[in-house]
Amino acid sequence: MAKHKVLSTKKLKSSLVELAREKGFEIIEKEFIQVKGLETERQVLDENAVVVFTSANAVQHAPIEEFKGKIFCISGATKKAVEARFPNSTIICTADDAAALADKIIDEEVEEVIFFCGNKRRDVLLDNLQQAGIKVKEMVVYETAETPEKLDDDFDAVLFFSPSAVNSFFKVNQLKEAAVYFAIGDTTADAIKGFTTNNVLVSEAPTQEAVIELLITHY
């Protein structure tokens, strides 16, 4: 019998669910957001273009075909998505969050970037780049819709992978004080802390693997 009942607000890799089960965790997966790609005009970018991605969804829905230019992106799943879709591009730098990524873009003395993002993207990267005098062409290529669901089960922990999922979850749920919330990054953790005083733990890297590792280590 599982020692701990855990909710994941995102579909996980089956291998991670099995790993957690072997360690005594029952993971229930429920999507608290839905992502829909937008119909946008196809773009032809030359090799001098500099592109920024802060989510794997943006990589998936970016309206460009072959791209051999420079890319700045979040590490983890976003980087993997870039490598898979744009194998001939050059990843200049990665970072664990948008603020750190903005700092690296500024350090590289980039003059202009194309930022592919969703309709609920955070302001930090755009604001920091513009304050540094970098021209940003923002292109919204997908929409995120919250899909809150009231839960009857009592969970020991909840895994969060985006601020949007945090907002969706807390619209109709509030767990016991002993419940622990796990966040894939600082931005998601900050969103959680806006709703609860429960313990919030942040993974060392923005990946599903790192979140599951933290879960297992904590308990």
Which residues in the chain land under pLDDT 50? Answer: none
Residues 68 and 107 occupy one common structural domain: yes
Gap between the Cα atoms of 138 and 94, Å rounded: 19
pLDDT of residue 1: 59
Residues 28 and 40 occupy one common structural domain: no
Q: Which two tokens stand for residue 80?
A: 């993997």
DSSP-derived letter for residue 181 is: E
What's the CATH number where 210 sits? Answer: 3.40.50.10090
Residues 140 and 95 occupy one common structural domain: yes
Q: pLDDT, tens digit, for every residue of 23-48?
A: 999 999 999 999 999 988 888 898 89
Domain count, the chain: 2
206-136-65 Cα angle (round to 5): 70
Alpha-carbon torsion angle 98, 102, 103, 106, nearest 10:
170
Q: Which two tokens stand for residue 14?
A: 């089956």
Q: Which of 99, 129, 144 is the last residue of a domain?
A: 144
Residues 84 and 173 occupy one common structural domain: no
- 3-state SS, residue 48: coil
Q: Which two tokens stand for residue 57?
A: 């969804």
Q: pLDDT, tens digit, for every residue of 3-23?
A: 899 999 999 999 999 999 999
Q: What is the span of the domain harbouring residue 134? A: 35-144
pLDDT of residue 85: 96
Residues 163 and 187 occupy one common structural domain: yes
Contact 205, 50 (CB under 8 A): no
Residues 25 and 39 occupy one common structural domain: no
pLDDT of residue 87: 95
Residues 73 and 174 occupy one common structural domain: no
pLDDT of residue 65: 83
